[in-house]
């Protein structure tokens, strides 16, 4: 299962989280966010990881393709996550400007079943979808879960991640109900915005191991 821990700000925490089992780390490139990091801060984290096999995802919202491409180049990102109101045309244009092999993820804030139809529309212009909880004033990191019942039959035909209020306490229930191919956590494993709680991260991976073993036994 793909596991992305988002809102990374500290180089030493990034190494510890990667060692615990994260397959992707997310960096918030939105200046208004309390988890915001600059391109040079991302570069410092990447240097601390020393080539560890983990995806490095920059998170952007309603910005320009030029800013995104610069962050990819300076920060050494392997992927970009679009968390604003980016159109299909914007995603397509960005894909043409990014270096080959850089992953594009599109976040969809799910309020109703109709939002899942919108998610499917992006399959042709992005590599991966991310389903997050809807909040009227915040783009992410809200700690709120979305309605997992909406996702029981969700199959967009491309890779996707479940986000929105996931914690070590509810992750087993989420996996049992939704069976997502990947998950994304931020506030659910934090002491404060941008400061990860490594004990919670370790608990998360312990719970994930139990869930995966349980699903394997049922298969």
What residues are annotated to the active site? 6, 132
Q: Are 131 and 146 in contact (CB under 8 A)?
A: yes
Axis-axis angle for helices 171-178, 198-218 (nearest 10): 30
Q: What is the dihedral of CA 26, 78, 71, 131, to 10 degrees?
A: -40
Q: Tokens in use for 218?
A: 């049922």
Q: Positive or negative, the Cα torsion across 95, 179, 202, 170?
A: positive
Angstrom distance (rounded) from CA 187 to CA 165 = 7
Q: Which residue has the tokens 């240097």?
A: 47
- What residues does 128 pair with on adjacent strands? 105
């Amino acid at each position: 299962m793909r596991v992305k821990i988002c809102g990374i700000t500290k180089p030493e925490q990034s190494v510890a989280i990667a060692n615990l089992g994260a397959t992707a780390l997310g960096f918030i490139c939105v200046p208004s966010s309390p988890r915001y990091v600059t391109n040079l801060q991302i570069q410092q984290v990447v240097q601390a990881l020393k080539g560890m096999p983990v995806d490095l995802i920059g998170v952007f919202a309603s910005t320009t393709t030029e800013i995104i491409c610069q962050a990819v180049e300076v920060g050494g990102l392997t992927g970009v996550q679009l968390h604003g109101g980016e159109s299909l045309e914007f995603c397509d244009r960005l894909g043409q400007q990014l270096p080959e092999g850089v992953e594009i993820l599109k976040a969809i804030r799910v309020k109703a079943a109709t939002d899942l139809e919108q998610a499917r529309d992006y399959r042709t212009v992005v590599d991966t979808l991310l389903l997050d909880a809807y909040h009227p004033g915040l783009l992410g990191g809200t700690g709120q879960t979305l309605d997992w019942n909406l996702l029981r039959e969700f199959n967009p035909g491309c890779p996707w991640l479940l986000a929105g209020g996931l914690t070590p306490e509810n992750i087993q229930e989420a996996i049992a109900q939704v069976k997502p191919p990947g998950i994304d956590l931020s506030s659910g494993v934090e002491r404060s915005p941008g400061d990860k709680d490594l004990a919670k991260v370790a608990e998360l991976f312990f719970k994930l191991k139990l869930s995966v073993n349980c699903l394997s036994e049922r298969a």
